[in-house]
Amino acid sequence: MENPLSYRDNVLHIEEVALDTVARRAGTPCYIYSANAILCRFRAYDKAFGDQAHKVCYSVKANGSLSLLALLATAGSGFDIVSGGELFRVLRAGGDRSSVVFSGVGKTAEEIEYALEREIHSFHCESESELFLIDALAARLGKRARVAVRINPDVDTATHPYISTGLRQHKFGIDIAGVEGVYERARAHRNLDLEGVSCHIGSQLLSSEPLLEALDHLLALVERLRAKGFPIRYLDLGGGLGVPYKPGEQAPSISDYIARMCSRVGGRGLTLMVEPGRSLVAEAGILLCRVLYRKRNGDKEFVIVDAAMNDLLRPSLYAAHHEILPVRRDDRRGTIQADVVGPVCETGDFLARDRQMANVLPGDLVAIAMAGAYGFVLSSNYNARPRAAEVLVAGKGWRIVRQRESYEDLVRGEVV
Ligand code: LLP
């Protein structure tokens, strides 16, 4: 399923479900995800590996909703987590703890203990002090910890500077130039099994070249580490594959990317792992909202909707582009050029700027496309706005998988 969205009789549908039907029962703003679009992308990854030993570990940070995690767990996905909270979510959703990898530069002792007790697959370590801490905590709990060092391969990626991670100047990973020494020194840690190498060089990459370049660096490193006696069994290349947010943009195909990856690795006795987030869920989701008002200030036209930067932060934070689609298409109305903004009291609160779009009017529904990744997870209660509801669609069926927050939810845990 390339795109779960389509117009039928001029009404926008996700899979077989008309979006106005969902709005009537679930209200707006509301995130809506297509289960089949997610499964289709997961299977594209999984199948492309063919006979190559592999594990696809969905990156929970992209969208941690329990219903999505459960869907992917049932399909056989592993999980890439960056916090104890994400591990809790994966376990609550029925995910397999033995296929969880734990990334992140700032794991706390409590989080490491929690993950050791649950016997996850491995820790991806980003500093020598972290290796030291994991070893000490494993000793105390009588556990062994499988670890991979997260390598910073110093590969440049043409993506937004906030989501590029693979250069020496970034906080992530350990510089490839000195990493063999790190493995050598870690031999002294008796409770660690140094069996992997990992990296993640950035996100929203519209070419697979930098990823394959990083892979080549890691494969050469694996040879050097094996020659030193380290039993390196797996290589995790992280996530990063982009999606075409803008019309005309081209993203690499999942199966081509994986096929190219496998052809470079074949026959080395390595298990390959990837940690896709965005490329599994972005295109599967929309943020449905309703137009509240139209107004004009000088030359500028504004469409004010009931979703805001607290619901979808990507436009404000990364100047990200999301297509805005009317739920009811009416070509007679023509188009406008407008800023689509929300109710939050910030000039930076916008969902689109100077956008040529359908001439929508107060009361109309609009869908903000490709909002399945880094949408709900980045939402907040800023301006005391309850967080949106979430809906999962499969074929003709749909259900609310997260209730809209209430005012009571806003004050839970607070005292006067
Ligand atoms: N693995 C690690 C270690 C990561 O740090 C990330 C993303 C992923 C996997 C998944 O990458 P993906 O396949 O989704 O590109 N909030 C930003 C994206 C931040 C990405 C952070 N790390 C955005 O909305 O564009």
**Quick one: pLDDT at residue 166?**
65
Which CATH number does the domain housing residue 81 bear? Answer: 3.20.20.10
Domain-ending residue, one of 277, 311, 328: 277
pTM of the model: 0.97
Give the range of the structural domain holding residue 316, as residue numbers without chain letter.
5-33+284-410
**Quick one: pLDDT at residue 224?**
97
**Quick one: pLDDT at residue 208?**
96
Domain-ending residue, one of 221, 250, 277: 277
125 annotated active-site: no
**Quick one: pLDDT at residue 266?**
83
Do 16 and 104 belong to one domain?
no
Pocket test for ligand 1, best of 45, 56, 57, 59 (most atoms within 8 A of CB): 59
Do 268 and 288 belong to one domain?
no
Which CATH number does the domain housing residue 19 bear? Answer: 2.40.37.10
Looking at residue 302, its amino acid is: F
Domain-ending residue, one of 245, 277, 309: 277
DSSP code of 412?
A: T
Asked if residue 38 belongs to a domain, the reply is no
Asked if residue 40 belongs to a domain, the reply is no
Is residue 49 within 8 Å of residue 270, measured between CB atoms? no
**Quick one: pLDDT at residue 10?**
98
**Contact 238 CB / ligand 1 (< 6 Å):** yes
Q: Which atom of ligand 1 is nearest to the CA of 279?
A: 13
Q: Which atom of ligand 1 is nearest to the CA of 276?
A: 13
Do 105 and 202 belong to one domain?
yes
Do 233 and 298 belong to one domain?
no
Do 268 and 246 belong to one domain?
yes
Do 238 and 384 belong to one domain?
no
Q: In degrees, to the nearest 5, what angle opens at C-alpha 169 toward C-alphas 163 and 171?
A: 65
Asked if residue 203 belongs to a domain, the reply is yes
Do 14 and 149 belong to one domain?
no
The total domain count for the chain is 2
**Contact 62 CB / ligand 1 (< 6 Å):** yes
Do 74 and 199 belong to one domain?
yes
Q: How far apart, in Å, are the Cα atoms of 397 and each of 22, 66, 85, 282, 392?
A: 11, 18, 30, 20, 8
**Quick one: pLDDT at residue 163?**
63
Do 339 and 358 belong to one domain?
yes
Asked if residue 401 belongs to a domain, the reply is yes
Q: How far apart are CA 361 and CA 303, in angstroms?
A: 8
Residues of the chain with confidence (pLDDT) below 50: none
Do 292 and 156 belong to one domain?
no
**Quick one: pLDDT at residue 151?**
95
Asked if residue 70 belongs to a domain, the reply is yes
Q: Cα(first)–Cα(last) distance of the chain, in Å? A: 51
